[in-house]
Amino acid sequence: MRIIDILFSQGFGSRRECAALLAAGQVSAAGRTLRDAQEDLATTGLRFQVRGVDWPFQARALLMLHKPAGFECSRQPQHHRSVLDLLPQPLRQRGVQPVGRLDADTTGLLLLTDDGPLIHRLSSPRRHVAKVYEVGTRHAVDEAQVAALLAGVTLHDDPVPVRAAACERTGERALRLTLTDGRYHQVKRMLAAVHNRVETLHRSAFGDWSLPADLAPGQWRWLAEAQEPAA
């Protein structure tokens, strides 16, 4: 692929802006400054540098973000900053977006991609992709509440009962809840249905991905396409 097309596909601006980067000697690969916009490079395993920052070539962007509290999962946030503000400009430029949403006060694992079919596969109710939440509650959690969440509860204004795929107490006022569907404010509504209340909410896993202990709030990292859950 021509280097100018590589830069354009990876979010480094218009082709004119990418050409300007090359002309200014701000692009390199394998220790060599690249200036010829028409030069072809093999994209398999390609790593290149723009203004000294290292980038891997990714035909489709797929990454995880440790979402901190106080950010909205929206391109047009209403009350807080967007989670997209935590990403470098090239990723925003190429159009990555969150896979599903976390509330502004919810923290934890958020996947982002520019792959529309992948977003659909990971978000579709038919796929039953598991999401694991660490829940801090206002009141003590008892075994009756855990049993009710596993058996299924009826949410306010929703006649169809929903149940947790897994649920366990992790503390006096804490539990780990696994869901395979995604309804509006589902965790909070499920806890309300068993006469408790969510005080803190953190997503620790999404499908085959778990939030690494060394990924601090606000940080992100690439995910290999090969890690995508099987169809």
pLDDT tens by residue, 60-71: 999 999 999 999
**Residues 211-229: what's their mean pLDDT?**
81
DSSP assigned state of 101: -
Query: Which ranges of 89-231 would DSSP assign to H, the alpha helix?
Result: 89-93, 116-123, 143-151, 186-193
What is the tens place of the pLDDT at every residue in 190-218?
999 999 999 999 999 999 999 999 999 99
Choose among 8, 5, 57, 67: nearest CA to 29: 57
Determine whether 103 is an active site residue.
yes
Average pLDDT, the chain: 92
Of 40, 85, 103, 181, which is the active-site residue? 103
Kindly list the structural domains of the chain, giving each domain's residue range(s) and its CATH number in brackets, ordered by start: 3-56 (3.10.290.10), 62-125+208-227 (3.30.70.580), 130-206 (3.30.70.1560)
Taking the C-alpha atoms of residue 161 and residue 58, their distance in angstroms, rounded to an integer, is: 41
**Residues 46-60: what's their mean pLDDT?**
96
